[in-house]
Chain A
Amino acid sequence: MRKYLAVSRITVSNILEYRWNFLIGHLRSIVLLVMLYYLWTAVFSKNNNLFGYGLAQMITYVLLVTIIRAIVLNSRTDNISGEISGGGKFFTYLLQPIGYLRYWFTIDVVYKIIDLAAAIIEVTLLALIVKATLFLQTNPVSIFLFLVSLGLAILLYFFLSALISYVTFWTYQGWGIRFAFVLFLEFSAGAFFPLNVLPATFVNFLKLTPFPYLVFFPINIYLGKANFFDLVFGFSMSALWLAILFLTAKVVWRRGLKIYEAAGG
């Protein structure tokens, strides 16, 4: 445990060292937030209800996406690709008494905590400046289930992201795959707009993948839009995908290590 606390301390130091990049990164997320806020406000100026959402629910959706981006769609496991493909740094981890994925998960937790704090400030400021009408969930069961779904989403994204990086064991050209994957993931997770906007057949297909359970499902729970069937199906799919991804990550890691050649090491 102490060694992971040391990793945490180093990660905090790294973030503080590159604080300008940290600020710029958050400034970028504000631009997306502002764009989506005004888009939906304009859309709802002529419509009271659209795709099953009212204005307050849609604006809450947009603001929650910013928070969920900070804690779910936020993983440093993308660095694994670079470590495997170059410099031989990856090899040094194999000699150290540290779990490789545990190491990255520790780093992720630190980033998530700091980014979450920044995201809450961004969202609060925007909500206050534009005097946004928000949907506040008061049902403790819904809030509890929302938090549980977020926990599952964090793990799902962590293993998905790690798996994409493991592709680098077989091809040193992992960045293009990650670019396409992340874009597809973010759209099909509902990180730009609620999936209800898309054709029902396509959404039903997406619900069989792990992606909607990263953003769309947790937010719908918070908004009270998930009925009993949605909850049972959603949590079952999240748990199933988490088991599949966890086991796949283990198998791929073992196979990857077998062909790893420590280039540059």
Chain B
Amino acid sequence: MVTHYLKIWWQLGVINFNIQYVASRISTTFLILGKIIRFGFFFFFLVALLTNTKTLAGFSLYQTLLFFMTFNFVDITIQFLLRGIYLARQLVREGQFDSILVKPINPLFRVASHNIDFLDFFTLVPTIIILGIVISRLETPTTFLNLLIYFALVLNGLVVATAIHIIVAAVAVWTQEIEQEIWIYRDLMTMGRFPLEIYSAPVKTVITFIIPVAVMVTFPAKALLGILSTQLVIVSLTIGVLLLAASLKIWSLALKNYTSVSG
């Protein structure tokens, strides 16, 4: 079963690679360049800023970079795995979703894998390397337990992000809407570039409980720094499990209520 889906995922990736890169390699090259520019400017901005200020909301240079790199890792991984979700509405409107439904494959998997981009490796691999360097240079000692909790919470962050994307896909299938709205999630997600401590209480509440950016990005980094309470670790994991369960339920309801809109 897993091998079967992995094969399909690989095939879809290869097809998309041929469409995206072979057919439009200039655009793709510049797309990667753009992502590197965005990452590079923010990275150097943080380094330049922290070199002058020494701390940001009480966090040192490498601690701040840990938040930034964790954000990048979660964001790029989710983009890599679930970019197809952004095209869900288009698939529905153009009638392609109907053909997906009659195929012997999980429709959610098929929608999510609709736009796999292998070229994300060009940004994901350096991100993982830099993240490793940042962790190795943290001023505070990193225990094995903290590292383990960090990986568990990053994984949980990916689950939360996946759940949000599933809800977005469900709304797209259900209502044939969601065009610009997903970008608000993406923008709110970018608030996780910096430690949660810089924001005011109302903003913290929004990005912890409404769109749980903090759960996805900030809490893992704090766990690695050994400053996340056990209660918040449990709350994070509970939010992950509940949100995933809720998202799958909403997706299932969306499929039940789906009425073909095009052909």
A interface residues, Cβ below 8 angstroms from B: 20-21, 24-25, 27-28, 31-32, 34-35, 38-39, 41-43, 46-47, 50-51, 130, 171-177, 179-184, 187, 192-193, 197-199
Q: Using Cβ atoms and an 8 Å threshold, which residues of chain B touch A179?
A: 30-31, 34
- B203 close to A38 (CB less than 8 A): yes
Q: Using Cβ atoms and an 8 Å threshold, which residues of chain B touch A199?
A: 48
How far apart sit A193 and B43, CA to CA, in the bound complex (Å)? 12
- Which residues of chain B from 33 to 56 have any CB-CB distance to chain A below 8 Å in the complex? 33-34, 37-38, 41-42, 44-45, 48-49, 52-53, 55-56
Shortest Cβ distance from residue A21 to the other chain B in the assembled complex, whole angstroms: 5
How far apart sit A177 and B37, CA to CA, in the bound complex (Å)? 12
Known contacts: A21-B180, A24-B183, A193-B45. The answer to whether A42 contacts B27 by CB under 8 A is no
Shortest Cβ distance from residue A14 to the other chain B in the assembled complex, whole angstroms: 15
**Which of B28, B45, B197, B199 contacts A192 (CB under 8 A)?**
B45
How far apart sit A173 and B33, CA to CA, in the bound complex (Å)? 14
How far apart sit A183 and B181, CA to CA, in the bound complex (Å)? 21
Q: Using Cβ atoms and an 8 Å threshold, which residues of chain A touch B31?
A: 176, 179-180
- A46 close to B53 (CB less than 8 A): yes
Is B184 an interface residue, CB under 8 A from the partner? Answer: yes
Instruction: Give 14 A-B pairs besides A175-B27, A192-B42 with Cβ atoms closer than 8 angstroms.
Output: A21-B179, A28-B183, A31-B190, A31-B191, A42-B57, A43-B56, A176-B30, A180-B31, A180-B33, A183-B34, A187-B41, A193-B45, A193-B49, A197-B49
- Which residues of chain B from 10 to 28 have any CB-CB distance to chain A below 8 Å in the complex? 24-28
**Number of residues in B with C-beta < 8 Å to the partner?**
39
Is B133 an interface residue, CB under 8 A from the partner? Answer: no
Q: Using Cβ atoms and an 8 Å threshold, which residues of chain B touch A197?
A: 45, 48-49
Known contacts: A31-B191, A180-B37. The answer to whether A24 contacts B27 by CB under 8 A is no
How far apart sit A35 and B198, CA to CA, in the bound complex (Å)? 9
**Which of B26, B180, B191, B193 contacts A176 (CB under 8 A)?**
B26
Is B140 an interface residue, CB under 8 A from the partner? Answer: no
B interface residues, Cβ below 8 angstroms from A: 24-31, 33-34, 37-38, 41-42, 44-45, 48-49, 52-53, 55-57, 179-181, 183-184, 187-188, 190-191, 193-194, 197-200, 203
**Which of A21, A28, A173 contacts B27 (CB under 8 A)?**
A173
- B184 close to A27 (CB less than 8 A): yes
- A39 close to B198 (CB less than 8 A): yes
Shortest Cβ distance from residue A195 to the other chain B in the assembled complex, whole angstroms: 10
**Which of A31, A39, A171, A183 contacts B188 (CB under 8 A)?**
A31
- A50 close to B52 (CB less than 8 A): yes
Q: Using Cβ atoms and an 8 Å threshold, which residues of chain B touch A187?
A: 37-38, 41
Nearest A residue to B197 via CB reads A42
**Which of B42, B49, B188 contacts A43 (CB under 8 A)?**
B49
Known contacts: A28-B187, A39-B194, A183-B37. The answer to whether A177 contacts B180 by CB under 8 A is no
Q: Using Cβ atoms and an 8 Å threshold, which residues of chain B touch A181?
A: 30, 34
- B37 close to A174 (CB less than 8 A): no
Shortest Cβ distance from residue B17 to the other chain A in the assembled complex, whole angstroms: 15
- B44 close to A198 (CB less than 8 A): yes
Nearest B residue to A43 via CB reads B53
How far apart sit A184 and B42, CA to CA, in the bound complex (Å)? 11
Nearest B residue to A42 via CB reads B198
How far apart sit A38 and B193, CA to CA, in the bound complex (Å)? 12
**Which of A25, A176, A182 contacts B24 (CB under 8 A)?**
A176
- Could you list 29 examples of A-B contacts with CB < 8 Å? A20-B180, A27-B184, A28-B180, A28-B183, A28-B184, A28-B187, A31-B184, A31-B187, A32-B187, A35-B193, A38-B203, A39-B198, A42-B56, A47-B52, A47-B53, A130-B200, A173-B28, A176-B24, A176-B28, A176-B30, A176-B31, A177-B27, A179-B31, A179-B34, A180-B30, A180-B33, A183-B37, A187-B41, A192-B41
- B24 close to A173 (CB less than 8 A): yes
Shortest Cβ distance from residue B95 to the other chain A in the assembled complex, whole angstroms: 20
